[in-house]
Amino acid sequence: MGGVLPMPSFGDLFTDVRGDDRTMRVSYHPERGAVVLSLWSGTTCRGSFRMAVDDVSRLRTVLAEVEASRTPTTVSPAVPPAGGPPGPLDAAAPVAPRSPAVDQTGDISGTAHRGVLPVPRVA
C-alpha cells in the first residue's frame, strides 16, 4: 500500500454536502501528468482516481454545463396593463434551468450486481 503524501502545491479540498467529515481532495501531480481525485472520511482515504491531465478540459466542460444549468436565465419583467397598477400575474415567472447534455461514454446495458465491495486501496 502506498504512503499518504502531503498535498502538492496545486490542489484543493471540498466538503461533502452530507457532512460526517467527508471530503474530496483534488491534487495535480505534474511529474505523473495526472490530477488525483481522492475521497476521504476523516483522515482515511476511501478511494482515489487518477485522471490524465488531457481529460481535465472535458471535466471542466461538464462542470461548466452543470453550473450553467442551475443559473436561471434573466427574464424581462412583464409590462403592466395601461391605466392600472400591476397585478399578481404581471410579474415575470422564473425560468426553469435547462438540463445539461449527457453523453453516453460506454455500454450501460449490463445488469447491476449487488454484493460485498472490495476493500479500497490507497494509491
Domains of the chain, earliest start first: 11-70 (2.30.31)
Regarding predicted confidence, which is higher, 21 or 2? 21
Compute the distance between CA of residue 79 and CA of residue 89 in angstroms, rounded to an integer. 11
Compute the distance between CA of residue 29 and CA of residue 16 in angstroms, rounded to an integer. 23
Q: Which three cell numbers stand for residue 94?
A: 422564473
Residues 6+ apart with CB under 8 A from 70: 97
pLDDT by residue (tens digit) across 20-52?
899 999 999 999 999 999 999 999 999 999 999
pTM of the model: 0.51
pLDDT by residue (tens digit) across 72-123?
665 555 555 555 555 544 455 555 555 555 555 555 555 544 445 455 555 5
- How far is residue 85 from each of residues 66, 80, 88, 107, measured CA to CA in Å? 39, 7, 10, 58
Q: Which three cell numbers stand for residue 22?
A: 467527508
Compute the distance between CA of residue 61 and CA of residue 42 in angstroms, rounded to an integer. 30
Q: How many CB atoms lie within 10 A of CB 75?
A: 11
Read off the pLDDT of each residue in 50-75 and give the average, rounded to a whole number.
Answer: 87
Eight-class DSSP state of 90: S
